[in-house]
């Protein structure tokens, strides 16, 4: 009896510490942005805003002929204009004249975020699809974009996409939707609307961290009764129900199409959501299910690597091998809020009494990680079918680039090294993003150059 009580106490202690860790990280992001707003001189802030607006107009005029580079954030991420102007990509968007940073749902499903991304670019009201909306219990229509950020987007005006974490899967799903002509009124869409996809610490094949945070390894769908994700679920439901305008303008989880606010659902609607009878956590239309290994396999089974699109991925790793054991590669090089997870993921073992997520699964293949995702998951699509790939050690290994192949590079870094805090990544930050933008501008070309003795078509 004492032993059982002691084990239960340890579980609750671990949950409490884990919650403090995640809460601290969230408060860190919010306090950084708030402090930046408060410390700004008001007149200086207004002047800076006007100056930036003028610069954007100049850039638009001078760079209309360049294909946009679209930076897509990951889970709990945010786009331009949120968190008091804090940049999710730590200002990397300023490295090129034609960069867009959309604000998508931070916890909504990969499917919903892909639909939102399409209308952010083309313009119009977000249409989640009639069948999907009925199945998941939310409105078919969402946010309205009076003016698309790239309305001319088509096969002759393709786009470069860079996705961090779950953002990489969002872009892949969007490309498949374009190939399947899944957007009403855009029957001319095709996979060739996408010129290149760059995955930065991308959640391509799922992560074992979802199980550490509370997803059941048995099915990759249901939550453990007591876990971090349960607290996250409750917090998000209450946040959405309270519907405080200024707070949601500051940061939004993206569940507006579920009508979870007190005005629309009342107190009984809140109870229904908390009890798991309605809402995104009931229907499974939220992002964590897509990030389990099982969920990623289901997602990937419908996604192709297309022969005329260029693919490149950076897989991050903060572990090393010592006498046959996988351990964190030092302490100082890992973000304090990720160190525990790097350690836990490097020791993760799938429960022996539960069927493995796929045939041939081995625990040791998934031990190398960056604190949020497993390195094996980030290189290229592997499950349920492995796509063509090529490991890059030197840049010359992938020049000239060939379409239809996933070129991937292993980078020493944790999951947040290349976002939010530029100073922390140092020189490596600039090397990564300079390489991405240079490749998009100089090496990724779909048009065949005209030779001197040829007449252009």
Q: By the 8 A CB rule, do 357 and 342 touch?
A: no
Instruction: Provide the pLDDT for residue 58.
Output: 45
pLDDT at residue 456 above 60? no
Residue 298's CB: how many other CB atoms inside 10 A?
16
Q: Calculate helix-pair angle for 110-122, 166-179, nearest 10 degrees.
A: 70
pLDDT band at 457 (very low <50, low <70, confident <90, very high): very low
The answer, yes or no, to whether residue 423 has pLDDT greater than 60, is yes
Q: What confidence score (pLDDT) does residue 445 get?
A: 75
- Kindly report the length of the chain: 457
pLDDT at position 450 is 37
Is 65 buried (19+), middle (13-18) or exposed (0-12) by CB count in 10 A?
exposed
Per the structure block, which two tokens stand in for 75?
A: 């889970």
- Is the separation of the CB atoms in 287 and 75 below 8 Å? yes
Q: What is the pLDDT of residue 398?
A: 82
Tokens at 412, concatenated: 């020493």
Ranges 8-22, 58-72, 176-190, 296-310: which has the least confidence? 8-22
Q: What is the DSSP letter of 395?
A: G
Q: From the CB of residue 34, how many other CB atoms can be counted at a distance below 10 Å?
A: 15
Ordered alpha helix ranges (H), 149-198? 166-179
Q: How far is the CA of 432 from the CAs of 3, 199, 239, 411, in angstroms? A: 50, 12, 36, 9
pLDDT digit string, tens, across residues 308-318 = 999 999 999 99
The pLDDT of residue 395: 81
pLDDT at 64: 66
pLDDT at 453 over 60: no
| Residues 288, 75: Cα–Cα separation, whole Å | 9
* Pairing of the two strands 141-145 and 124-127: antiparallel
Look at residues 368, 369, 367, 391 and name the one whose alpha carbon lies nearest to residue 379: 391
pTM, two decimals, is 0.86
Return all residues near 399 (Cβ < 8 A) that are at least 6 apart.
443
Per-residue confidence (pLDDT) for residue 138, from 0 to 100:
97
What's the pLDDT tens digit per position in 67-126?
999 999 999 999 999 999 999 999 999 999 999 999 999 999 999 999 999 999 999 999
Task: Give 35 or 373, the one with higher predicted confidence.
Answer: 373
Give yes or no for a cis peptide into 400 (omega within 30° of 0): yes
pLDDT > 70 fraction of the chain, expressed in percent and rounded? 84
DSSP letters spanning 1-29: -HHHHHHHHHHHHHHHHHHHHHHHHHHHH
pLDDT at 447: 59
> Average of pLDDT values for 358-362?
97
Task: Give the span between the Cα atoms of 419 and 429, in whole angstroms.
Answer: 9
90 DSSP assignment: T
Name the token pair of 271.
């109870």
Tokens, residue 246: 């200024």
């Amino acid at each position: 009896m004492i032993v059982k009580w002691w084990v239960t106490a340890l579980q609750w202690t671990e949950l409490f510490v884990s919650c403090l860790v995640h809460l601290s990280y969230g408060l860190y992001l919010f306090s950084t942005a708030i402090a930046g707003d408060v410390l700004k001189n008001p007149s200086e802030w207004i002047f800076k805003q006007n100056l930036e607006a003028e610069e954007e107009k100049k850039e638009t005029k001078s760079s209309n002929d360049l294909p946009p580079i679209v930076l897509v954030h990951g889970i709990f991420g945010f786009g331009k204009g949120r968190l008091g102007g804090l940049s999710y990509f730590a200002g990397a968007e300023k490295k090129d004249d034609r960069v867009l940073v959309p604000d998508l749902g931070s916890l909504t499903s990969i499917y919903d975020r892909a639909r939102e991304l399409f209308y952010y670019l083309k313009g119009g009201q977000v249409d989640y699809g009639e069948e999907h909306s009925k199945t998941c219990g939310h409105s078919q229509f969402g946010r309205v974009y009076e003016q698309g950020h790239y309305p001319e987007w088509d096969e002759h005006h393709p786009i470069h996409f860079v996705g961090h974490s779950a953002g990489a899967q969002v872009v892949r799903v969007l490309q498949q939707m374009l190939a399947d002509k899944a957007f009403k009124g855009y029957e001319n869409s095709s996979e060739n609307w996408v010129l290149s996809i760059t995955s930065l610490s991308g959640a391509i094949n799922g992560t074992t961290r979802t199980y550490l945070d509370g997803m059941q390894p048995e099915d990759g769908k249901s939550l453990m009764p007591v876990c971090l994700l349960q607290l996250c679920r409750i917090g998000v439901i209450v946040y959405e129900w309270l519907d405080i305008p200024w707070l949601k303008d500051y940061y939004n989880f993206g569940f507006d199409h579920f009508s979870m606010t007190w005005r629309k659902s009342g107190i009984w609607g809140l109870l229904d959501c908390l009890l798991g009878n309605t809402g995104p956590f009931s229907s499974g239309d939220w992002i964590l299910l897509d990030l389990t290994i099982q969920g990623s396999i289901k997602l990937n089974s419908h996604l192709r690597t297309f022969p005329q699109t260029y693919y490149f991925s950076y897989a991050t790793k903060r572990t090393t091998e010592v006498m046959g054991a996988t351990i964190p590669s030092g302490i100082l090089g890992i973000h304090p809020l990720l160190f525990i997870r790097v350690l836990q993921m490097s020791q993760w073992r799938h429960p022996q009494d539960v069927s493995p997520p796929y045939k041939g699964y081995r625990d040791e293949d998934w031990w190398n990680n960056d604190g949020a995702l497993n390195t094996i998951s980030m290189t290229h699509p592997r499950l349920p079918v492995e796509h063509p790939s090529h490991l890059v050690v030197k840049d010359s290994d992938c020049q000239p680039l060939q379409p239809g192949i996933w070129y991937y590079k292993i980078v020493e870094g944790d999951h947040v090294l290349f976002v939010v805090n530029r100073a922390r990544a140092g020189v490596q930050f600039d090397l990564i993003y300079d390489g991405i933008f240079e490749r998009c501008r100089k090496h990724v070309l779909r048009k065949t150059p005209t030779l001197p003795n040829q007449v252009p078509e």
